[in-house]
Amino acid sequence: MSRLCLQNYRNYAREGFTPHREINYLYGENAQGKTNLLEAIFLLGTGKSPRNARDQEMTRWGENWFRVDAEVRRRDCAFRMEISYRAGTGKVVSINGQKKERLFDLLGRLNVVLFSTEELQLVKGGPSQRRRFLNLQLSQTNPRYYYDLQQYRRVLQQRNMLLKDIRSGRTYRRDELPVWDRQLVKIGAGLVWKRREIVAKIAPLARGFHRKISGGREILTVEYKPSFPGGGEGKVQEIEADFSRALLAAREDELQRRMTVIGPHRDDLLIFLNGKDGRVYGSQGQQKTAALSLKLAETEYMVEEVGEYPILLLDDIMSELDGERKQFVLKTVQERGQIFITGTEEKDMPPGAAGICYRVNQGLIIKV
Ligand SMILES: Nc1ncnc2c1ncn2[C@@H]1O[C@H](COP(=O)(O)OP(=O)(O)O)[C@@H](O)[C@H]1O
Ligand SMILES: [Mg+2]
């Protein structure tokens, strides 16, 4: 990214800057706009806020629109990209000034990986966080996955409405269930298949990082855990068959609970440390190391898939990690692409790094 401009975005009225191609260190007191800035870059990459903020929340108070735009130079092309929002109209994406019909046309153009306090809760947190971890990577490297995910959510919503209707006495609608089942299975099995594939690639990378950080003492194992038995060790057709069978078996339970109780929206990742469930038995430190290893693995995965390093966003990592792990992260990511790091002290600028230091103060970015 060679240029970034924010307008009416959070506490930025109108601000632009020219980032360094390696390290951009942003420091400042609390509540000055450091996290907001990284959020804006994440938004350009994924179309979403990492904090799941709604569009209006990202809009500067008292305004009804915002715009984030960037100039991007990749190995084989250069372009401008923009995401803007206006109350009532919603978000719009344009590339080189041309409006795109769909928001997801922006996926895959500016890949990002975020390291933040919340992201480092990946092991400790709930299943939805781990599903999101997979969804975000797959969406960026495989926009088709994002499309399927949207379709799946739509079908799921319809199906849940149907289950509610049947439960509340509109039994004539029961005939419609098989139709929705077929769609749910078809799209859902595809999602599960792709997630298994990505986990198979990420798991060994994460294991390598974890081994290094733990000084060879710990073995990290990561597996995909489908919410239905079998879950297709093999082909996508087998996953469909397993999913389909499990849905039929869950019929009464689903009608009781008025919702779809199995499917990729209920899947999870299993994380083991030396063979024991890391969520249950891991110490806070071990869980954080495992999460960090998974994030570093995500970065490597993107390099392998795309052939280029994603933009790394390191929010408050300096205060989140102890000295050793901090050094490991910095050593691993340096000289491998563009990085945005936030901190509170000027002196925490990574030593020996090629880059620029900025002070962030009340929505202004000042080169130091
Ligand atoms: N929509 C908004 N409009 C204006 N200011 C906002 C908006 N959303 C958040 N803020 C302000 O942004 C600041 C927080 O910025 P943040 O980037 O999280 O700070 P930090 O520098 O500590 O990372 C707070 O002062 C908050 O009031
Ligand atoms: Mg912050």
**Would you list the domain boundaries of the chain?**
124-287
Residues 6+ apart with CB under 8 A from 278: 123, 220, 271, 272, 286, 287, 290
pLDDT tens string for the chain (368 positions)?
A: 999 999 999 999 999 999 999 999 999 999 999 999 999 999 999 999 998 999 999 999 999 999 999 999 999 999 999 999 999 999 999 999 999 999 889 999 999 999 999 999 999 999 999 999 999 999 999 989 999 999 999 999 999 999 999 988 888 888 999 999 999 999 999 999 999 999 999 999 999 999 999 999 999 999 999 999 986 667 899 999 999 999 999 999 999 999 999 999 999 999 999 999 999 999 999 999 999 999 999 999 999 999 999 999 999 987 888 888 888 888 888 878 899 999 999 988 887 778 999 999 999 999 99
Interhelix angle for 236-249 vs 177-213, to 10°?
120
CA of 338 to the centre of ligand 1 (A): 24
Q: Closest Cα partner for 286 from 295, 268, 274?
A: 274
CA of 350 to the centre of ligand 2 (A): 18
Q: What's residue 324's pLDDT?
A: 85
Pocket test for ligand 1, best of 8, 9, 11 (most atoms within 8 A of CB): 11
Phi and psi angles of residue 58, each rounded to the nearest 5 degrees, phi first: -80, -15
Question: What is the CB neighbour count within 10 angstroms for residue 331?
Answer: 10
Residue nearest to atom 17 of ligand 1 (CA): 33
| AA letter at 21 | R
Q: What's residue 331's pLDDT?
A: 87
Identify whether the C-beta of residue 268 lies closer than 8 Å to the C-beta of residue 199: no
Q: Closest Cα partner for 366 from 68, 34, 59, 45?
A: 34
Ligand 1 — pocket residues by CB below 6 A? 10-11, 28, 30-36, 57, 59-61, 360
Question: In whole angstroms, what is the distance from residue 196 CA to residue 215 CA?
Answer: 28
Question: In whole angstroms, what is the distance from residue 206 CA to residue 223 CA?
Answer: 11
Looking at the CA of residue 58, tell me the nearest atom of ligand 1. 1
CA of 12 to the centre of ligand 1 (A): 9
Tell me the pairing of strands 339-343 and 23-27. Answer: parallel
Residue 71 C-alpha from the chain's centroid: 22
Residue nearest to atom 13 of ligand 1 (CA): 31
Q: Which ligand is nearest to the CA of 32?
A: 1
Looking at the CA of residue 36, tell me the nearest atom of ligand 1. 17
CA of 32 to the centre of ligand 1 (A): 6
As to burial, measured by CB atoms within 10 angstroms (0-12 exposed, 13-18 middle, 19+ buried), residue 211 is middle
Residue nearest to atom 12 of ligand 1 (CA): 11
Q: Closest Cα partner for 362 from 12, 35, 2?
A: 12
Q: Which residue is it, tokens 């620029």?
A: 356
Q: What's residue 329's pLDDT?
A: 87
Q: Which ligand is nearest to the CA of 85?
A: 1
CA of 90 to the centre of ligand 1 (A): 21
Residue 78 C-alpha from the chain's centroid: 24
Identify whether the C-beta of residue 338 lies closer than 8 Å to the C-beta of residue 21: yes
DSSP strands (E only) in the chain: 3-9, 12-17, 23-27, 65-73, 78-86, 90-95, 98-99, 112-115, 220-225, 268-273, 276-277, 311-314, 339-343, 355-361, 364-367
Q: Which ligand is nearest to the CA of 31?
A: 1
Pocket test for ligand 1, best of 8, 26, 27, 32 (most atoms within 8 A of CB): 32
DSSP strands (E only) in 10-135: 12-17, 23-27, 65-73, 78-86, 90-95, 98-99, 112-115
Question: In whole angstroms, what is the distance from residue 105 CA to residue 124 CA?
Answer: 33
Architecture in CATH of 124-287:
Up-down Bundle (1.20)
CA of 313 to the centre of ligand 2 (A): 12
CA of 40 to the centre of ligand 1 (A): 12
Pocket test for ligand 1, best of 27, 36, 61 (most atoms within 8 A of CB): 36
